Amino acid sequence: VQRIGVLTSGGDAPGMNAALRAVVLAADHYGMEVIAFRHGYQGLLDNDHAPMRPADVMHILQYSGTVIKSARCQRFKEVEAAQEAAANLDALSIDALVVIGGDGSFRGAEHLSAHWDGQIIGVPGTIDNDLFGTDATIGYATAVHIAMDALDKIRDTADAMDRVFIVEVMGRYAGFIGLSSAMAAGAERMILPELQKEKPLTISTIVKHIERTNAIRGEGSYVMVLSEHQWPGGAVALAEQLEAEYHLPCRPCLLGHIQRGGPPSPADRILASELGVHAIELIRDGVTKVMAGMQAGTPIAVPLRDTWEKKNPLDSNLLRIQHEIFNPVKKTPRT
Ligand code: ADP
């Protein structure tokens, strides 16, 4: 392999720059040239590219976002678009493409692979941690840290007034960010997609839980973590509905895109560096249509299709602890 292409696509994630840097440095180490496409798949279609040398990736690993830009590109889903991209890659004599992104970007990679002969390797860059086959995705640890930090701050003010707060976090349709941040910040309740699917919470169940919690430990703040898409109208609507039934102030707080910014955590920088290098090593091994992932400290290759067709479950022990131990709903009879 002489020349590889690289792009960042879909929702940006802290550590994408660190992954890009690792790809460029590892490629250079093995004597490959790197061409970066700007704005994800849009850049493949627009022929918007530039060579990337080690000097171009100096000191970018400490920044979130992505220096080669990301984008969503609806048109890439069409067959003609994939054919066009394939022709553009061939015209540049590119032998392999590294796609840094989430499940949508990997579907795009699979789509491209039906029309292009080059090797395609995915690097899991998403805060949501919703890709099968890797213990963590790049950006997840940072997002959890930011959410925990925000929850701590909310706790200070909530506690001063004995208030109920609903903090809405990201995660797409997975509860990883919600569960981990709730656990790390000691939130009293969490509303996660996986739990909602099993047994959806109602306003009256939530109010009962607030009242029981107060009865057990005394009046105090009550902080709830709400995963996005899990309540019609989100945290604002939930706060209004709760207030109407609970008759005490309930305040919403939407973290939004704050969860994607600031310095990537050490874990994300290190994971991104390992997976960026692993992607290049997989190219050297002649593999294609796989994601570079990490399982129990070992870099592995996961078939691209598995990454979105299969699901990593939420940590069942964390769920158990959060629900049964830290948030007693039933009064245990004392003997
Ligand atoms: P993420 O990678 O963060 O999950 P998206 O779901 O927005 O982000 O996907 C990023 C891009 O990947 C889309 O804008 C589109 O260009 C491409 N893509 C997503 N799904 C497909 C698909 N089924 N076929 C082809 N391209 C796709």
pLDDT 10s digits, 266-283: 999 999 999 999 999 999
User: What do you get for the CA distance between the two ends of the chain, in Å?
Assistant: 72
Give the closest residue to 22 by CA, choosing from 312, 264, 302: 264
Residue 304 has pLDDT above 60, yes or no: yes
Name the closest-CA residue to atom 10, ligand 1: 10
Q: Is the pLDDT of residue 117 over 90?
A: yes
Residues tagged active-site: 128
Q: How confident is the model at residue 248 (pLDDT cuts 50, 70, 90)?
A: confident
- For this complex, say whether ipTM is above 0.90: yes
Q: Do the beta carbons of residue 24 and residue 56 sit within 8 Å?
A: yes
- Ligand 1 pocket, 72 CB below 6 A? yes
Ligand 1 contact via 108 beta carbon (within 6 Å): yes
Instruction: Please give the share of the chain, as a percent, with pLDDT higher than 90.
Output: 93
pLDDT band at 334 (very low <50, low <70, confident <90, very high): low
Q: What is the dihedral angle through the alpha carbons of 217, 221, 226, 232, rounded to the nearest 10 degrees?
A: 110
Q: Say yes or no: CB of residue 8 within 6 Å of ligand 1.
A: no
CA distance 291 to 146: 26
Q: How far is the CA of 42 from the centre of ligand 1 (A)?
A: 11
